[in-house]
Amino acid sequence: MEKILPKIGIVIIGINECSHIADCIKAIRAVNYPQDLLDITYVDGGSSDNTPDLATGFEGVRVMQLNNPHPTPGRGRNAGWLTLSSPIIQFLDADMIIDPDWFLHAHKLLENNIGAVTGTLKEIYPDKNIYHILAEMEWAGKEGPCDFFGGGVLISRKALEDANGYDEYLIAGEDPDLSYRIREKGWLIKRSGHTMAMHDINMSSFLKYLKRAFRGGYAYAEISFRYIKKNEKMWFRETLRILVRSLLPLIIMLTGFISGFVFSGLIFALLFAVKPSFSIFKFKKQFNRPWKDIIIYTVNAIIIVFPQLFGVIRYYYGLISGKPLYNRLNVKKMSLT
């Protein structure tokens, strides 16, 4: 006897996604899964373009507009899944295109104590520029049990309820934060080797790269501080790595100047700053990609800690001053995908 397929609620979030939202919804309408078992909600964080109108144009798609002065991914996702009654929820960002066979594959994995399933994410334009190459490599992950998921994930409603949903105040890092709290409640997270979705990071400038890295550093600092007293100490090592790799070269140079060993200080500072380049062969084995991509990834590993450092500093400044960082309605995207 064939097993009855479960109903799946789909929550899409976005801001100013007029170039993506139609493709995102069309892909859901084309999946190999009964459409009467799919309940789609698009939650708009405050678009200044016609994204909500485009979403409304699709029959059967529920559109919610938060109009909150400080939109966050968590606020949008909570608003979406709390309106649904489905036992399973798929979260997507508007710049994702779901794989047609994902639902048929992934819902079967939500069994026993597996509370969330994520899959392979691929860039639609993987070779468009260095930022798209980096994103394609960033999405890579090993199949099997994992600690965290990103903006695209299939979650059981029970696991969401146990963890009290997303944190609505985090401007970034809301997905790993929920991942941690889901695991803390005894649920497991599984990464499937099956393609979950295609994605368009749509990044073309160094300034956007710096902003993304800055927000990443802010998220590392905020979440590591939040869980500093927990046994796992989530993201503490990552935050410490940012601080050490960005500040130690400066300390070495300063020590060299003070002690009179200026040249030696510069050499040792430079060697420490480019330390990731010593792992270039490990990166080659890990990603199995052309050397051009490996060099790009290595350079990224060297420089990314510096904008991340400013994100860490901004978090602690906000913590001390009582002036945390907030998203504003003119923020281009709600998520750091």
Burial of 229 from C-beta contacts in 10 A (0-12 / 13-18 / 19+): exposed
Instruction: Find the helix or strand (DSSP H, E) in which 65 lies.
Output: strand 61-65
More confident residue, 240 or 335: 240
Q: Is 301 left (phi over 0), alpha (psi -120 to 50) or beta?
A: alpha
Query: How many residues can be counted in the chain?
Result: 337
Residue labelled with tokens 């400044």: 317
Query: Mind listing the domains of the chain with CATH numbers?
Result: 8-203 (3.90.550.10), 224-321 (no CATH)
CA-based R_g, the chain, Å:
21
Backbone angles phi, psi at 193, to 5 degrees: -80, -5
How many Cβ atoms from other residues are within 10 Å of residue 282's Cβ? Answer: 11
pLDDT band at 167 (very low <50, low <70, confident <90, very high): very high
d(CA 137, CA 335): 18
Q: Which of 68-72, 77-81, 85-89, 200-204 has the lowest mean pLDDT?
A: 68-72
Q: CA-CA distance, 264 to 256, in Å (whole number)? A: 7
Q: What percent of the chain has pLDDT over 70?
A: 96
DSSP-H helix ranges across 172-261: 174-184, 206-226, 236-259
The structure tokens listed for 278 are 């010593």
Print burial letters for 326-336: b (CB count within 10 Å at least 16), e (below 16): ebebebebbbb
Q: Are 114 and 185 in contact (CB under 8 A)?
A: no
What's residue 64's pLDDT?
Answer: 95
**More confident site: 208 or 141:** 208
Average pLDDT over residues 214-218: 96
Region 193-213: mean pLDDT is: 95
SS (HEC) of 95-140: CEEECCCHHHHHHHHCCCCEEEEEEEEEECCCCCCHHHHHHHHHCC
Share of the chain above pLDDT 90, in %: 86
**pLDDT at residue 142, as a whole number:** 87
- pLDDT of 67: 82
Pairing type for strands 61-65 and 114-123 reads unpaired
Average pLDDT over residues 242-247: 96
Q: What is the pLDDT of residue 188?
A: 97
Q: Quote the pLDDT of residue 151.
A: 93
Owner of token pair 């949008």: 76
38 sits in which H/E element: strand 38-44
The answer to whether residue 38 scores a pLDDT higher than 90 is yes
Reported as a pLDDT band with limits 50, 70 and 90, residue 336 is very low
Sign of the C-alpha dihedral computed for residues 92, 98, 101 and 102 taken in this order = negative
pTM: 0.91
Q: What digits encode the pLDDT tens for the residues 114-149? A: 999 999 999 999 999 999 999 999 998 889 999 999
Distance CA 90, CA 120 (A): 14
